[in-house]
Structure 1
Amino acid sequence: EATEDALIVNGTAINCYAERNPEALPWSELGVDLVLECTGIFVSKDKAGMHLKAGAKDVVISAPAKGGDVQTIVLGVNDDELDRRANVFSNASCTTNCLAPVIKIVDQNFSIVEGAMTTIHAYTADQNIQDGPHRDLRRARAAAFNIVPTSTGAASAVKLVYPNIGSKISAIAVRVPVITGSMI
């Protein structure tokens, strides 16, 4: 069941919020320990930190963080390096979470000399739904009707969480006309 401000599942109300300013969210009064910041908007330490000002204890950004002052953690790759003195973390991207564990295992067992990765990825909110203006002409094409070769930061992100790989990996992305899904 859905109400104006909650989803009710098996008799339990799950609060839903539509607030543009994270500092205005009631995290303190709700006793929130962890916020998963998945908007794609609040991806720097300062911006994600707005959830801390609202009372959350920790924030995990579900994208590569901007600014370089947020630790990036991928489970199974570098989670043993988690610095609990910090309270804003990045969990990298979906592509990095898929690629980094494979890279680590293959490199540790067979020693990667050089590698190339292609991710086939659903279109994203950064792409136009109809042909239109965009700073990247490829992403200007209608996302729901075109296969669009583009860049990805996955190789750089893997290096963040598994430095042993250095510059041995290159990566490209191909955005395809599906709403969800990704493969490497």
Structure 2
Amino acid sequence: MSNSVKVAINGFGRIGRMAFRRAYEENQVEVGPKLEVVAINDLSDPANLAYLLKYDSAHGIFNHEVSFYKDESHANVFFPWKELGVKVVLESTGFYLKKELAQDHIDAGAEYVIMSAPAKDDTPTFVYGVNTDKLTPDMHVVSGASCTTNCLSPMLSVIEKKWGVKAGFMTTVHAYTNDQTTLDLIKAKDFRRGRAAAENIVPTSTGAAKAVKLVIPSMAGRLDGIAIRVPVLDGSLCDLTLELKEHGATVEEINALEKAASEGELKGVLGYNTDPIVSRDILGRTEGSIFDATETKVIKTEDGAELVKVFAWYDNEFSYTCQFVRLAKKVASFVA
């Protein structure tokens, strides 16, 4: 494959498989560096992994031939990246979330590692289109943040640049995920996540709002949030309430600015919606965040400031994966 960068996917779960699908699809039509997946590393049965790549309850059938063989020629090498010519590792296990752990990939011969989850240390964090102008070739280990941070940041950045933000609170109404259970079971760290996910509305924690400071530094200490897990398989909604620094914001101006951003500097990253949609309607959307102009609200506080409420949808699996792959292609351009 010409103009390609060899990539390995470490961890072939929900995001790993979606990343493979997205990279494959983009390789068929897009210009620029292509992500050539030459290795998939996972502890699970290869036959089962191939089956789950082909058939997906949320995203449908992958309409391409899927076959597999178990390569044991590197059985004595934990990560055979040097031998395979791997330049970039898409780290999707959820375990290598510190630089010192991700360094294993670098030591094995890869040049770059991109985490598909929030880092647990000071690893540089990027939301494609929002702060990727700060991404430089000397950053060999980076994080693509979370699906919710990728939804929140584009919408928020537009408002923050115009009016500034005193403080805010975010609620993500989020599809259930694989860290929950289908029946009531023991969950020592969070009792509520142990309740039947498909039968309950489950309040729980999220670090997505606080993590925004890693992408938009001016928001440090100004934003917090919670998650409400709901009984849908995929498709989520970010509800953001902000107190603005500058006065004068209106529903019309907020919507106009978000629309302009979706057609300009954030095109492909921020979508814009004016229809009365529901969560199923955004499944498969490639933007990391789909601003919903039908739900924008503004009220004035006693001191004349504005309290703003805005909403954005996101496919918490595929929208995020598209952002993750965009980030991977940006990193791959350093070695292409």
Q: CA deviation at 1:108?
A: 0.6
Give, in whole Å, the separation in 1 of the partners of 2:37 and 2:95: 27
Q: Is the 8 A contact 1:35 1:58 kept in 2?
A: yes
Write the deviation string for residues 2-36 of structure 1: whole angstroms up to 9, x where unpaired: xxxxx9x9xx9965443489x61322122111111
Q: Is the 8 A contact 1:19 1:25 kept in 2?
A: no
1:88 aligns with 2:112: no
1:33 aligns with 2:104: no
Larger radius of gyration: 2
Q: Is the 8 A contact 2:38 2:84 kept in 1?
A: no
Identify the residue that residue 112 of structure 2 maps to in structure 1: 58
Question: Percent identity of the aligned residues?
Answer: 48
C-alpha change, 1:15 and 1:42, in structure 2 (3 Å) is closer
Identify the residue that residue 100 of structure 1 maps to in structure 2: 153
1:169 aligns with 2:193: no
Identify the residue that residue 109 of structure 1 maps to in structure 2: 162
Match of 1:75 among 128, 150, 154: 128
C-alpha change, 1:136 and 1:19, in structure 2 (3 Å) is closer
Q: Is the 8 A contact 1:44 1:67 kept in 2?
A: yes
Which amino acid in the other structure matches residue 157 of structure 1? Answer: A
Identify the residue that residue 198 of structure 2 maps to in structure 1: 144
- Size of the alignment, in residue pairs? 173
Unmatched tracts of structure 2, length 5 or more = 1-19, 25-35, 45-74, 239-336
Give, in whole Å, the separation in 2 of the partners of 1:97 and 1:51: 25
What TM-score comes out, normalization by structure 1 length?
0.82
Q: Is the 8 A contact 2:126 2:144 kept in 1?
A: yes
Give, in whole Å, the separation in 1 of the partners of 2:114 and 2:38: 20
Write the deviation string for residues 96-127 of structure 1: whole angstroms up to 9, x where unpaired: 01111211111111222332211121222222
1:18 aligns with 2:72: no
Give, in whole Å, the separation in 2 of the partners of 1:30 and 1:67: 29
Give, in whole Å, the separation in 2 of the partners of 1:132 and 1:36: 32
Q: Is the 8 A contact 2:201 2:230 kept in 1?
A: yes
C-alpha change, 1:18 and 1:165, in structure 2 (3 Å) is closer
Identify the residue that residue 4 of structure 1 maps to in structure 2: none
Residue aligned with 2:148, SS: helix
Identify the residue that residue 3 of structure 1 maps to in structure 2: none
Give, in whole Å, the separation in 1 of the partners of 2:38 and 2:151: 30
Identify the residue that residue 181 of structure 1 maps to in structure 2: 235
Write the deviation string for residues 121-161 of structure 1: whole angstroms up to 9, x where unpaired: 12222222321111211112122222111111012110111
Give the stretch that moved more between structures: 167-176 or 97-106: 167-176
Give, in whole Å, the separation in 2 of the partners of 1:172 and 1:17: 33
Which amino acid in the other structure matches residue 94 of structure 2? Answer: G
